[in-house]
Amino acid sequence: MPLHRLTSITIGVPDVEETAAYYEDFGLLRTPGGGFATADGGEQMRLTHSPQRRLLEVGVGVDDRDDLDRVVRQLGALDLEVDDQGDRVVTREPIAGIVATVSIAEHLAQASEPTPYNYPGNQERSDGRAPGLDREGPVRPRKLGHLVIGSTDADATQKFFTDGLGFKISDEVRGLAAFMRCTTDHHNVLVQKAPINYLHHTSWQVDDVDEIGRGAMAMLEKDPGRHVWGLGRHYVGSNFFWYLKDPAGNFSEYYSDLDCIVDDELWEPGVYEGARGLYAWGPPPPPSFLAPEDLGALMTGTHASR
């Protein structure tokens, strides 16, 4: 597909330094320019001051000028304004006003050694202990995987990403959400119906389920109140997950083993119902995951972080 990666996001929060400290604990590296980098994706997040928490910007990478021209035509067909800057085009999602920048960018390159596992009749790891037991040091997310947006007009926001930018729908939860991709990952953006436009969570790839556990436990050792939901495995997308909460109220997810869609002809999008689409196993989601506790404050224009 002409789109090939999420490049970066900008999140507005009331207290930048407090939130920045959280994401440093989470494993992102602060860059000289004040952003936050993943191990493979470079600088993929910036924080800026905002009276309330919100997603301000999202970036998507393409290969060349032909891809940008295609995006310009698609956005024009939706009667959306476009600022064409040559190597990038900038527009706004029409419901929440999120700035979307589509730019010519290098593909994200990732290399790693597969984690060996022992299965019945298949001993990938013999005469040695599991490598996850001896890992030391902080967990480092490999890349920004996806983000989940609540929209007061989910159909319009979804149309912006699909018909405007060129995302593809992987799966849907009936009447609630659409999982969309701009890479071979199962989803890079999920749009769900909500009473207010807001950022539900960002999701960050780590190597395997051991890194999810190590990362989450390190975060909770510093502050048990960061816990939201996990450990579990999603049904749609199939990935392992653990969710935590930053000081502004945004959820952040460690994930691994997400479905990948390499051949569109071999993937049939599904439509799922309720909790069946949400998780395959794990503790049930807390009410605060489905409806964050500060939604009322966001709707009335008052700040309510933890």
CATH of the domain at 245: 3.10.180.10
Residue 112 maps to a domain: no
- Asked whether residue 118 is domain-assigned, the answer is no
Q: Is residue 230 in a domain?
A: yes
Residue 251 belongs to a domain: yes
Q: Assess whether pLDDT exceeds 90 at residue 112.
A: no
Please state, in angstroms and rounded to a whole number, the distance separating the CA atoms of residues 242 and 227. 8
Domain carrying residue 163: 3-107+142-300
- The verdict on residue 121 lying in a domain is no
In a domain, 10, yes or no: yes
Which pLDDT score is estimated for 306?
47
Q: Structural domain tally of the chain?
A: 1
pLDDT given for residue 274 in this prediction = 72
What mean pLDDT is predicted for residues 205-212? 97
Tell me whether residue 40 is in a domain.
yes
pTM for this model (two decimals): 0.95
CA distance 45 to 161: 20
Kindly state the average pLDDT of the residues 184-210: 97
Residue 303: the pLDDT is 57
Residue 122 domain flag: no
